[in-house]
Amino acid sequence: MRFVIEAEQRLRRQAIADSLRFRAPDGAPPNVEVLDSTVTDGHVRKRIRFEVSDGDIVPAFLFEPTTPEPGPGVVVFHQHASQWHLGKSEVAGLKGSPWQAFGPELARRGIVVLAPDSIAFEDRRHNITGTDPDENDWLQHYNEMAYRLLHGDTLMHKVLSDAADAMSVLIELDRVISSQVGVLGHSYGGNTVLFHAAVDSRARFAVASGAACSFRTRITERTGIEMSEVIPGFLTQFDIEDLVRAMAPNPVLLISGKDDKYSRDTPAVMRKAVDTYRAHRAEAALKGFHYAGGHELDESRFNAIVEWTVSTATAR
């Protein structure tokens, strides 16, 4: 019976991957260039860049514990918040909300963190780089979606390809135990986590905050769809609960808010996905914290994410 369940899960993952045109990297990992390194507050922060499969250069921050032993690692995907000028720098705690600064906090707790800029954010904007906003930021992001749709491609395909290359960078680091790596993100970053962890088997755990709202609910409630999630035909086959099902039996934490239009039906998504976890005898691996309040992270949610990530990553 176990072999049947595992075979069904492989087929589920493959069907989702095929719908997204996703293929896991099978070549050499991207070359990494270290631009500078700073020792600060119990961790080392490195500014790096690496070339992804289509030739784009991805700027990122890498956070390493000061202890020399290899340990877990996590790719942290930044939020959106209509602040295209903030990407990796918010995860670094250099700009923006302090409750997005997962890089330093997790590194201090013994986890290597890679925080890349997503396409059209911070140093991956065509019109400007750095952390100052520009009046054309929204248009640049829209164009990244529109130009790909005209070629029969999607922005999600690009986002996932970049995410997979970031995972390749992480697991090749001497400081990282490849069997103890995962993905984490809030809002836009949480969207990336949901899709990435569903199709990339190298992600052994996942944290998605403010993101696990079904497409059905968003359409019913007239909620906006983020540009990378505009995937022609996806809803004819799948919805968000199918992404969560595809992660089983790996540990998953879903953070949601009762007044958050981007995540308030997360408990319903989990109820639809739990049967797959139950079939894998891993029901306890699917965890959800449903908070009072809206979309933004606060101290309690930040701390809950950090504690779960540390305990889960170090337990595997």
pLDDT, the chain, mean: 96
**CB 168 within 8 Å of CB 196:** no
Q: Residues 170, 176: contact at Cβ < 8 Å?
A: yes
Q: Could you give the CA distance from residue 272 to residue 242 in angstroms, rounded to a whole number?
A: 9
Contact predicate 159/49, CB 8 Å: no
Domains of the chain: 2-315 (3.40.50.1820)
- Per DSSP, what are the bridge partners of residue 257? 291
Q: Over the stretch 250-272, which tens digit does the pLDDT of each residue have?
A: 999 999 999 999 999 999 999 99
Residue of 258, 80, 46, 79 lying closest to 170 (CA atoms): 46
Q: Residue 286's beta-bridge partner residues?
A: 252
- pLDDT one-digit tens code per residue, 268-316: 999 999 999 999 999 999 999 999 999 999 999 999 999 999 999 998 6
Predicted local distance difference test score (pLDDT) of residue 221 = 97
For residues 163 and 196, give the distance between their C-alpha atoms in angstroms, rounded to a whole number: 7
Which pTM was predicted?
0.97
The pLDDT assigned to 316 comes to 63
CA pair distance 302, 220, nearest whole angstrom: 30
Given a contact cutoff of 8 angstroms between Cβ atoms, the answer to whether 155 and 144 are in contact is yes
